[in-house]
Chains A and B, each alone.
Chain A
Amino acid sequence: DGGITQSPKYLFRKEGQNVTLSCEQNLNHDAMYWYRQDPGQGLRLIYYSQIVNDFQKGDIAEGYSVSREKKESFPLTVTSAQKNPTAFYLCASLRLRQGTLQNTGELFFGEGSRLTVL
Protein backbone atom coordinates (compact mmCIF):
# COMPACT_ATOMS: atom_id res chain seq x y z
CA ASP A 1 0.00 0.00 0.00
CA GLY A 2 1.21 3.46 -0.80
CA GLY A 3 1.72 5.91 1.98
CA ILE A 4 3.99 8.12 4.02
CA THR A 5 6.29 6.67 6.64
CA GLN A 6 7.74 8.77 9.40
CA SER A 7 10.38 7.54 11.79
CA PRO A 8 11.04 7.36 14.59
CA LYS A 9 7.62 7.62 16.16
CA TYR A 10 9.10 8.79 19.46
CA LEU A 11 12.46 10.47 19.94
CA PHE A 12 14.21 11.87 22.97
CA ARG A 13 17.05 14.33 22.66
CA LYS A 14 19.37 16.05 25.03
CA GLU A 15 19.74 19.78 24.77
CA GLY A 16 22.43 20.80 22.30
CA GLN A 17 22.04 17.76 20.08
CA ASN A 18 20.88 17.73 16.49
CA VAL A 19 18.30 15.11 15.52
CA THR A 20 16.95 14.04 12.14
CA LEU A 21 13.38 12.93 11.52
CA SER A 22 12.80 10.71 8.53
CA CYS A 23 9.94 11.03 6.04
CA GLU A 24 9.58 8.65 3.11
CA GLN A 25 6.70 8.41 0.66
CA ASN A 26 5.94 5.89 -2.09
CA LEU A 27 2.98 7.77 -3.51
CA ASN A 28 5.07 9.34 -6.31
CA HIS A 29 4.06 12.73 -4.96
CA ASP A 30 5.97 15.77 -6.08
CA ALA A 31 5.62 18.04 -3.07
CA MET A 32 6.49 17.29 0.54
CA TYR A 33 5.94 19.30 3.70
CA TRP A 34 6.95 19.41 7.34
CA TYR A 35 4.53 20.75 9.93
CA ARG A 36 4.97 21.26 13.65
CA GLN A 37 2.00 20.76 15.97
CA ASP A 38 1.78 22.30 19.43
CA PRO A 39 -1.25 22.29 21.73
CA GLY A 40 -3.57 25.20 20.96
CA GLN A 41 -1.59 26.34 17.91
CA GLY A 42 -2.71 24.03 15.16
CA LEU A 43 -0.17 23.02 12.55
CA ARG A 44 2.56 25.40 11.48
CA LEU A 45 4.62 24.97 8.33
CA ILE A 46 8.36 24.51 8.80
CA TYR A 47 9.67 23.72 5.31
CA TYR A 48 8.30 22.46 2.03
CA SER A 49 9.66 21.16 -1.24
CA GLN A 50 7.94 20.92 -4.59
CA ILE A 51 10.75 19.39 -6.64
CA VAL A 52 13.94 17.49 -5.96
CA ASN A 53 16.89 19.58 -4.85
CA ASP A 54 14.71 22.56 -4.07
CA PHE A 55 12.91 23.61 -0.90
CA GLN A 56 11.45 26.73 0.70
CA LYS A 57 11.14 28.01 4.23
CA GLY A 58 7.75 27.97 5.85
CA ASP A 59 6.54 30.13 8.69
CA ILE A 60 8.78 28.74 11.44
CA ALA A 61 11.97 27.54 9.69
CA GLU A 62 14.47 28.92 12.21
CA GLY A 63 16.41 26.15 13.90
CA TYR A 64 15.45 23.54 11.31
CA SER A 65 17.03 22.26 8.09
CA VAL A 66 15.91 19.92 5.33
CA SER A 67 17.15 18.23 2.17
CA ARG A 68 15.39 16.81 -0.85
CA GLU A 69 17.91 14.64 -2.69
CA LYS A 70 15.32 12.11 -3.76
CA LYS A 71 11.67 12.52 -4.67
CA GLU A 72 10.67 9.95 -2.06
CA SER A 73 12.52 11.41 0.88
CA PHE A 74 12.37 14.69 2.81
CA PRO A 75 14.26 14.44 6.13
CA LEU A 76 14.00 17.18 8.72
CA THR A 77 16.89 18.04 11.03
CA VAL A 78 16.09 19.78 14.28
CA THR A 79 19.24 21.64 15.20
CA SER A 80 20.51 22.83 18.54
CA ALA A 81 19.52 26.34 17.44
CA GLN A 82 15.84 25.46 17.76
CA LYS A 83 14.93 26.95 21.13
CA ASN A 84 11.83 24.93 21.89
CA PRO A 85 11.96 21.71 19.86
CA THR A 86 9.64 19.57 21.96
CA ALA A 87 6.63 19.04 19.70
CA PHE A 88 4.78 16.67 17.41
CA TYR A 89 6.08 16.75 13.83
CA LEU A 90 3.99 15.81 10.81
CA CYS A 91 5.20 15.13 7.29
CA ALA A 92 2.84 15.39 4.34
CA SER A 93 2.91 15.05 0.58
CA LEU A 94 0.92 16.27 -2.38
CA ARG A 95 0.60 15.19 -5.98
CA LEU A 96 0.96 18.06 -8.41
CA ARG A 97 -0.46 18.10 -11.88
CA GLN A 98 2.18 16.76 -14.25
CA GLY A 99 4.36 19.49 -15.68
CA THR A 100 2.95 22.27 -13.50
CA LEU A 101 3.08 23.54 -9.98
CA GLN A 102 -0.67 23.97 -9.70
CA ASN A 103 -2.66 22.63 -6.83
CA THR A 104 -4.45 19.35 -7.03
CA GLY A 105 -6.01 17.20 -4.36
CA GLU A 106 -5.39 17.13 -0.68
CA LEU A 107 -2.31 16.59 1.43
CA PHE A 108 -1.59 13.07 2.66
CA PHE A 109 -0.01 12.85 6.10
CA GLY A 110 2.30 10.46 7.88
CA GLU A 111 1.62 9.28 11.42
CA GLY A 112 3.93 11.81 12.97
CA SER A 113 7.01 11.88 15.18
CA ARG A 114 6.97 13.02 18.78
CA LEU A 115 10.22 14.76 19.78
CA THR A 116 10.96 15.41 23.44
CA VAL A 117 13.97 17.36 24.63
CA LEU A 118 15.21 16.25 28.03
Chain B
Amino acid sequence: AQTVTQSQPEMSVQEAETVTLSCTYDTSESDYYLFWYKQPPSRQMILVIRQEAYKQQNATENRFSVNFQKAAKSFSLKISDSQLGDAAMYFCAYRSWVGATNKLIFGTGTLLAVQP
Protein backbone atom coordinates (compact mmCIF):
# COMPACT_ATOMS: atom_id res chain seq x y z
CA ALA B 1 0.00 0.00 0.00
CA GLN B 2 1.11 3.51 -0.71
CA THR B 3 2.10 5.82 2.14
CA VAL B 4 2.92 9.51 2.38
CA THR B 5 5.18 10.92 5.09
CA GLN B 6 5.59 14.51 6.16
CA SER B 7 8.27 14.62 8.83
CA GLN B 8 7.89 18.28 9.78
CA PRO B 9 4.78 18.82 11.93
CA GLU B 10 5.49 22.56 12.14
CA MET B 11 7.62 25.07 10.26
CA SER B 12 8.15 28.80 10.55
CA VAL B 13 9.38 31.36 8.03
CA GLN B 14 9.92 35.09 7.99
CA GLU B 15 7.85 37.10 5.59
CA ALA B 16 9.58 37.45 2.18
CA GLU B 17 11.88 34.52 2.93
CA THR B 18 11.89 31.05 1.34
CA VAL B 19 10.80 27.85 3.03
CA THR B 20 10.82 24.22 1.93
CA LEU B 21 8.35 21.63 3.15
CA SER B 22 9.36 17.98 2.91
CA CYS B 23 7.36 15.00 1.70
CA THR B 24 8.37 11.43 0.99
CA TYR B 25 6.19 8.62 -0.26
CA ASP B 26 6.34 4.92 -0.77
CA THR B 27 4.93 3.16 -3.82
CA SER B 28 5.70 0.34 -6.18
CA GLU B 29 3.89 2.06 -9.03
CA SER B 30 5.69 3.93 -11.80
CA ASP B 31 2.90 6.30 -12.80
CA TYR B 32 1.10 8.49 -10.32
CA TYR B 33 0.11 12.03 -9.34
CA LEU B 34 1.53 14.02 -6.46
CA PHE B 35 -0.16 17.06 -4.98
CA TRP B 36 0.35 19.75 -2.40
CA TYR B 37 -2.83 21.07 -0.81
CA LYS B 38 -3.12 24.09 1.46
CA GLN B 39 -5.64 24.26 4.31
CA PRO B 40 -5.93 27.77 5.79
CA PRO B 41 -7.78 28.47 9.05
CA SER B 42 -11.05 28.45 7.11
CA ARG B 43 -10.41 24.67 6.65
CA GLN B 44 -11.07 24.87 2.89
CA MET B 45 -8.65 22.59 1.05
CA ILE B 46 -6.98 24.39 -1.84
CA LEU B 47 -4.79 22.79 -4.47
CA VAL B 48 -1.37 24.45 -4.55
CA ILE B 49 0.48 22.43 -7.13
CA ARG B 50 0.45 19.03 -8.83
CA GLN B 51 3.07 16.84 -10.48
CA GLU B 52 2.66 13.91 -12.83
CA ALA B 53 5.32 11.29 -12.13
CA TYR B 54 6.14 10.78 -15.80
CA LYS B 55 7.17 14.42 -16.14
CA GLN B 56 10.80 15.08 -15.30
CA GLN B 57 10.36 18.82 -15.15
CA ASN B 58 9.44 20.14 -11.72
CA ALA B 59 6.07 21.86 -11.54
CA THR B 60 5.90 25.58 -10.78
CA GLU B 61 2.97 27.83 -9.89
CA ASN B 62 4.02 31.42 -9.30
CA ARG B 63 5.85 31.46 -5.94
CA PHE B 64 5.35 27.74 -5.40
CA SER B 65 7.61 25.09 -6.89
CA VAL B 66 8.41 21.49 -6.21
CA ASN B 67 11.56 19.42 -6.15
CA PHE B 68 10.44 16.04 -7.44
CA GLN B 69 13.00 13.28 -7.01
CA LYS B 70 11.34 10.13 -8.36
CA ALA B 71 14.13 7.71 -7.53
CA ALA B 72 14.31 9.01 -3.99
CA LYS B 73 10.48 9.19 -3.75
CA SER B 74 10.71 12.73 -2.53
CA PHE B 75 8.38 15.62 -3.32
CA SER B 76 9.24 18.83 -1.48
CA LEU B 77 7.42 22.15 -1.79
CA LYS B 78 9.33 25.43 -1.94
CA ILE B 79 7.53 28.66 -1.16
CA SER B 80 9.43 31.75 -2.26
CA ASP B 81 8.83 35.29 -1.04
CA SER B 82 6.58 33.99 1.73
CA GLN B 83 3.50 36.05 2.51
CA LEU B 84 1.32 36.21 5.60
CA GLY B 85 -1.46 34.56 3.60
CA ASP B 86 0.70 31.49 3.12
CA ALA B 87 0.23 30.58 6.77
CA ALA B 88 -1.73 27.33 6.72
CA MET B 89 -1.56 23.57 7.07
CA TYR B 90 0.05 21.99 4.03
CA PHE B 91 -0.70 18.44 2.98
CA CYS B 92 1.22 16.30 0.55
CA ALA B 93 -0.91 13.74 -1.29
CA TYR B 94 -0.48 10.81 -3.67
CA ARG B 95 -2.79 9.22 -6.18
CA SER B 96 -2.32 6.38 -8.61
CA TRP B 97 -2.24 7.15 -12.33
CA VAL B 98 -4.04 3.96 -13.26
CA GLY B 99 -6.49 1.72 -11.49
CA ALA B 100 -10.07 2.05 -10.49
CA THR B 101 -9.78 3.35 -6.97
CA ASN B 102 -8.85 7.01 -7.61
CA LYS B 103 -8.08 7.39 -3.93
CA LEU B 104 -6.04 10.32 -2.66
CA ILE B 105 -3.61 9.37 0.13
CA PHE B 106 -2.54 12.19 2.42
CA GLY B 107 0.39 12.85 4.68
CA THR B 108 -0.17 14.11 8.22
CA GLY B 109 0.47 17.73 7.28
CA THR B 110 2.92 20.53 8.08
CA LEU B 111 1.68 23.63 9.87
CA LEU B 112 3.41 26.67 8.40
CA ALA B 113 3.64 29.91 10.36
CA VAL B 114 4.71 33.11 8.63
CA GLN B 115 6.33 35.73 10.87
CA PRO B 116 5.95 39.40 9.93
Contact = CB atoms under 8 A, between A and B. Distances in A.
B35 A106 contact: yes
A41 interface: yes
A35 B57 CA distance: 31
Instruction: Determine the main DSSP class of B at the interface with A.
Output: loop
Contact of B45 (A48, A50, A109): A109
Interface residues of B, number: 27
A101 interface: yes
A25 to B, nearest CB: 14
Given A40-B9, A112-B43, A96 B102 contact: yes
A16 interface: no
A42 B106 contact: yes
A78 B108 CA distance: 23
A104 to B, nearest CB: 9
A59 to B, nearest CB: 9
- Residues of A in contact with B, size category: 20 to 34
A28 to B, nearest CB: 16
Interface string A50-84: 10000010100000000000000000000000000
A102 B109 contact: no
A42 B107 contact: yes
A103 B45 contact: no
B16 interface: no
Interface stretch (B59-67, B69-77, B79-87, B93-101): B93-101
Contacts of B9: 40
10 contacts: A42-B6, A42-B91, A42-B107, A43-B106, A56-B101, A92-B104, A101-B102, A106-B47, A109-B45, A112-B44
Interface of B: 4, 6, 9, 33, 35, 42-45, 47, 50, 91, 95-109
Interface of A: 31, 33, 35, 40-45, 48, 50, 56, 58, 88, 90, 92, 94, 96, 101-103, 106-107, 109, 111-112
